[in-house]
Chain A
Amino acid sequence: MEPFEASLPPDLARLRVLRRELGDWLDRVGASSDQRDAVVLAIHEAAANAIEHANGRVTVRGARDEEKLLLVVSNTGRWKGPRASDMGLGGLTLMRALMSNLEIHVEPERTTVRMRLDFSPSEVHADLGSSRVTDA
């Protein structure tokens, strides 16, 4: 099944296009409406944070692996705002709630947000999932 990949310049206006393209891909890989919405919102929050607080391009990758969706948002360039672990409370709260698992790895020149959504409708929005933040 085709993976998803998008490379965004540090331009907040591109987030709307990202949401469209990601939503279309999620439809193609068989995500339900709830799963589609959850992933689009979670990825939006991660990408928006990366664009707002870092410089350089932001890369979004997604793949369906049997019964789960794996998604990665990463940015290059020096982190110039709050550290990823200090990500806006609302955005981080949403990502944790929407995804089955969330990991944020912060390095001096790169931040990577990894998300997993189990491909089971009953698990979407079921709980706050699990999350982990590591600073290099």
Chain B
Amino acid sequence: MYDPMDHVQVDYPAVGTALITFRGEHDLVARDELRATLDLLVEQNTLVVADFSEAEFVDSTTLHALLDADMAARMKGRRFRLLLGTRAIVRAAFELSGVLDRLDCTHSREEALGDESPTQFAKPF
């Protein structure tokens, strides 16, 4: 049976930094597991990077989970960054929902994991 969470990989490239990579399709079937994973990463790290450069589909529940993780990170004084690829439907979902404007979006893994703040700052809620 297809398990969307099988398409999520978490790495720790530095102390206090978590990189969660999304591959394949992500929808509300794995919403609860995704939220739990993001909550834990934000709780335990000072920087969380969500890499969607290899994702093929995201829906609104996935986007909501990311917004909530970003909010949780802000409230704890931590950073949550997004890395997007070129897959049109994934980029469209982020753009058309307005989520892209709310998250710190980076353009490379190096930028996302770096100490410098991203060039595009998030708008306040």
| A interface residues with partner B (beta carbon < 8 Å) | 12-13, 15-16, 19, 33-34, 37-38, 40-41, 44-45, 48, 52, 88, 90-91, 93-94, 97-98, 125
Question: Which of B23-31, B40-48, B74-82, B109-117 sits within the interface?
Answer: B23-31
Residues of A within 8 A of B89 (CB): 37-38, 40-41
Are A15's CB and B97's CB within 8 A? no
Are B92's CB and A90's CB within 8 A? no
Residues of B within 8 A of A52 (CB): 28
Are B88's CB and A33's CB within 8 A? yes
Interface string of B29-61 (1 = CB under 8 A from A): 100000000000000000000000000010111
Are B27's CB and A94's CB within 8 A? no
- Report the bound CA distance from A93 to B1 in whole Å: 31
Secondary structure type dominating chain B contacts: helix
Cβ-based interface call for B98 (8 A)? yes
Secondary structure type dominating chain A contacts: helix
Rounded to whole Å, the gap between the CB of A102 and the closest CB of chain B is: 13
Closest-by-CB residue of B relative to A36 is B89
Residues of A within 8 A of B99 (CB): 90
Residue in contact with A48 in the complex, picked from B2, B27, B88, CB distance below 8 Å: B27
